[in-house]
């Protein structure tokens, strides 16, 4: 069985501080993340939760936080078929690249036959595309309309 890893690299015409703000400010995440607010005090070892319509959908733990360069957390949805799976891990790195930011996302550590992997393999490209669109145009796309 081959290892299940999601790796996405994208370039955003923005600053690292603006991308970091978009990743960590719940008012901004709600705009491009299908209505999900990403909430934390951003202290290592503390919770990071995703909330949609007031309900917690994901409970993660912050493993590393080095603004505006690196963010690492566990990934654990707490609804549906995903709730019974053990947590996986998300690493996001931001690097300056001329007048752009290179965002690298690696999502790994999935259990075998992971339903979370299958959902995130499709979900992360939508989310990151919407983040890019928001930062570059001020608008968002309805990337979850065709689910």
CB 36, CB 51: distance < 8 Å: yes
Higher pLDDT, 1 or 126: 126
pLDDT of residue 147: 52
pLDDT of residue 129: 95
Written as six digits, the tokens of 57 are: 């959908």
Torsion of CA 139, 108, 79, 119, to 10 degrees: 60
- 80 phi-psi bin (left φ>0, alpha ψ -120 to 50, beta other): left
pTM comes to 0.94
Task: Compute the average pLDDT of residues 34-58.
Answer: 96
Higher pLDDT, 141 or 100: 100
Summarize pLDDT for 72-90 with one digit per residue, the tens: 999 999 999 999 999 999 9
Map out the domains of the chain as residue ranges. 6-137
What is the SS3 assignment for 92-132?
EEEEEECCEEEEEEEEECCCCCCHHHHHHHHHHHHHHHHHH
Summarize pLDDT for 25-35 with one digit per residue, the tens: 999 999 999 99
Query: Which residue spans within the chain are E strands per DSSP?
Result: 6-12, 36-40, 47-52, 55-66, 70-75, 88-97, 100-108
3-state secondary structure (DSSP) of residue 5: coil
At 142, the pLDDT band (50, 70, 90 cuts) reads: confident
pLDDT of residue 3: 78
Provide the mean pLDDT of the chain.
Answer: 95
Q: Is the pLDDT of residue 1 over 90?
A: no
Pick the CATH number of 6-137 from 3.40.50.720, 2.30.30.100, 3.30.530.20, 3.40.640.10: 3.30.530.20
């Amino acid at each position: 069985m081959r290892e299940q890893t999601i790796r996405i690299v994208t370039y955003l015409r923005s600053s690292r501080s603006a991308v970091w703000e978009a990743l960590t400010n719940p008012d901004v995440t709600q705009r491009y993340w299908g209505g999900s607010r990403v909430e934390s005090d951003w202290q290592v070892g503390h919770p990071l939760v995703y909330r949609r319509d007031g309900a917690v959908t994901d409970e993660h733990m912050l493993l590393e936080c080095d603004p505006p360069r690196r963010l690492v957390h566990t990934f654990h949805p707490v609804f549906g078929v995903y709730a019974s799976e053990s947590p996986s891990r998300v690493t996001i790195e931001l690097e300056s690249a001329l007048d752009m930011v290179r965002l690298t996302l690696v999502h790994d550590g999935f259990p075998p036959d992971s339903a979370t992997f299958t959902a995130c393999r499709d979900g992360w490209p939508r989310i990151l595309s919407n983040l890019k669109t928001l930062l570059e145009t001020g608008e968002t796309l309805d990337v979850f309309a065709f689910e």
